[in-house]
Amino acid sequence: MKRRQAIKISSLGAIGFSASINTGCVNNAFSFDHGVASGDPTEERVILWTRVTPKKVGTVQVVLEVSEKENFSEIVFKKKLHTSSLIDYTIKYDFEASKYCKSHQGFFYRFKAGNVFSEVGKSKTFSADTKSVKIGIFSCSNFPAGYFNAYAAAAKDNLDVWLHLGDYLYEYPMGGYATSIAEKLGRTPVPPHEMIRLADYRQRHAQYKLDAGSKELHKNTPLIAVWDDHEFTNDAWKRGAENHSMDGSEGDFFARRSAAIKAYFEWMPIREQDSKRKIFREFKIGSVLHLLMLDTRQYGRDKQIQPLEYLTNSGFNQAKFYNDLNDSNRNLLGPSQISWIENAVTKTKSEWTIFGQQVLMTKLKFPDISNAFKKIPDELKPYIQLIKLGLPSNLDAWDGYPKDRERLYKIMQRLDKKFISLAGDTHNAWLSELYDEIGNKVGIEIGTPSVTSPGLTDYIPIDVEIFEDSIVKKNSELFWMDASNRGFTSIEISKKQIVTKYNFIKTIYEKNSSIKEFKEFKIAKNYEIEA
């Protein structure tokens, strides 16, 4: 063997050896099991994300490559990045697309660890002269409840961007909420216990990212996400949650919240701000759209009012209930978020102002459904009593914070801006006109159905059409609702109008991305709804 050749071979060996620890020249030292994702697109930048699964612990080098060609024949950007167990082997890079890509038509990206490539992702930034934009709206994706077929369907829908309005994942254990079919579907929660600590939140995020529909949508379309309660735990507010034991058995609430936030930022393609608790942020899409993503969940929210606490032996204490409910110090957004909204809206001249947020803004009361039951289940009896009293149906939503809602409405009225509110959380589809206390129409609300979480008619054994009809009649703001379907909503926004399409999927119990039916409405520039 010639000396030069020997040096070559031994140095190759050295590279091979060190690489098996650091960069993994050995095939299959790494895999990209959780796909790729992109998020928070602006006119200049977009976050690119992946997660590498290494066979050995230690720092991993991952190379990001960007190309405007799907076959990567010409690479316009290449960057060495590093990850480790400290960030659960996730990779996030805020790519300055406007510097490296010629147009806003979109680009392709992939990651490489050792010899292994990730799937190829597709993403884009917004152009300043965007004339129209198509946005998908999602909420409440519950892995054990069914397949994320709504994501898979949306991946084929030519969306420019998708929004997730919260409950991107759920904290419950096997045997808990919406898990009755999980075993049969092979979708039992991982870990099997309720997520409380950092390792739990990480494992659960990892499981959700394995769903085929989720992978497909993340790969094809950038996401703009905000969290709701289940990214933490049920009915969270700024200092606690319904599903967090205050007896110490689940540890400190703030430690749990920090763990949830850390895992969220690791696993979601979201741009980080100075404070990780702050996720409200804005996006401008040409002169067409000003999108403000809000946090109604954990930033400024005061504790929910519990109506059952007002039920006494001598009946329901209405005076105290309404006194507490209408307390002007009760916050949902909180003062700093409210003034941020005011500032942001003041500065922007876009055709449409849209709030992407978690919970229903529409004023909503349930019709008396006691006749729907042959026998009223015991656990529902107190709620039926409250419905009969005519109380708002969901005090975890804006209805539980009427003064903060009015504050927002007043600001928008003063600025002479009507708005569209996008909401999730209810698992059902809604379309409403929103009015302030003195009867001014302030905007429209589009409530998107859940991806898989069970809806109203899964709980209430009632004729769907009769129920839908009676709830629309009961509530003057409500224009239309759907009580029985899962899916997603798309909105196509141009200066002239917004075309809103509620897409209902065929099934969540087997992998199938067909749309069963859809319902379409047009929202005109004067905020009139046309069916």
> Would you say 167 or 433 has its CB closer to Fe ion?
167
Toward Fe ion, which CB reaches closer, 140 or 159?
140
Applying CB under 5 A, the span of 53-61, 139-147, 377-385, 514-522 interacting with Fe ion comes to 139-147
Size of interface with Fe ion, in residues (CB under 5 A)? 3
Q: How far is the CB of 200 from Fe ion (least distance, A)?
A: 19
Q: Does 477 bind Fe ion (CB under 5 A)?
A: no
CB of 150 to Fe ion, least distance (A): 14
Identify the CA nearest to 49 among candidates 222, 190, 232.
222
CB of 125 or CB of 426, closer to Fe ion: 426
Instruction: For residue 138, list its beta bridge partners.
Output: 164
Distance CA(523)–CA(504), nearest Å, equals 20
Listed in sequence order, the DSSP H helices in 209-279 are 212-220, 253-267
Nearer to Fe ion, 167 or 171 (CB): 167
Q: Which residues in the 443-462 window bind Fe ion by CB under 5 A?
A: 453
Nearer to Fe ion, 138 or 340 (CB): 138
Pair 328, 391: CB distance under 8 Å: no
Q: How far is the CB of 418 from Fe ion (least distance, A)?
A: 28
Q: How far is the CB of 135 from Fe ion (least distance, A)?
A: 20
Instruction: Out of 167, 200, 404, 468, point to the residue binding Fe ion (CB under 5 A).
Output: 167
Residue 228 beta carbon to Fe ion: minimum distance, rounded to whole angstroms: 7
Q: Which window, 164-172, 295-303, 319-327, 436-444, contacts Fe ion (CB under 5 A)? A: 164-172
CB of 244 to Fe ion, least distance (A): 17
Choosing from 140, 420, 434, 446, the residue that interacts with Fe ion (CB under 5 A) is 140
Site map 393..432 versus Fe ion, x via CB under 5 A: ----------------------------------------
Give the position of tokens 């066979």: 55
Judged by CB, which is closer to Fe ion: 234, or 475?
234
Pairwise CA distance, residues 336 & 449, whole Å: 30
Instruction: Identify the bridge partners of residue 30 per DSSP, sorted by sequence position.
Output: 54
User: Nearest Cα to 364, choosing from 315, 405, 420, 411?
Assistant: 405
Q: Which among 159-167, 255-263, 264-272, 493-501 is the span making contact with Fe ion, rule CB under 5 A?
A: 159-167
Q: How far is the CB of 208 from Fe ion (least distance, A)?
A: 14
- Stretch of 17-25, 35-43, 136-144, 372-380 contacting Fe ion, by CB under 5 A: 136-144
Q: How far apart are CA 398 and CA 296, in angstroms?
A: 9
Structure tokens at 301: 């929210």
Q: Closest distance between Fe ion and the C-beta of residue 349, in Å?
A: 35
Q: How far is CA 198 from CA 195, 226, 293, in A?
A: 8, 19, 25
CB 454 to Fe ion: min, Å: 9
Long-range contacts of range 191-196, CB-CB < 8 Å, 24 or more positions apart?
194/233, 194/243, 194/250, 195/171, 195/233, 195/260, 196/171, 196/250, 196/251, 196/256, 196/259
| Closest approach of Fe ion to the CB of residue 204, in Å | 15
Write the Ramachandran bin of 415: left for phi over 0, alpha for psi from -120 to 50, otherwise beta: alpha
Q: Interacting stretch for Fe ion, rule CB under 5 A, among 20-28, 51-59, 138-146, 294-302?
A: 138-146
Kindly tell me which of 167 and 235 has the beta carbon lying closer to Fe ion.
167
H-helix or E-strand containing 96? Answer: strand 90-96
Q: Where are the alpha helices (DSSP H) in 192-252?
A: 198-208, 212-220
Q: Determine the interface stretch with Fe ion among 132-140, 268-276, 296-304, 318-326 (rule: CB under 5 A).
A: 132-140
Min CB(462)–Fe ion separation in Å: 21
Cα separation, 531 vs 529, whole angstroms: 6
Quick one: which H or E segment has residue 152?
A: helix 149-155
Contacts with Fe ion, residue ranges (CB under 5 A): 140, 167, 453
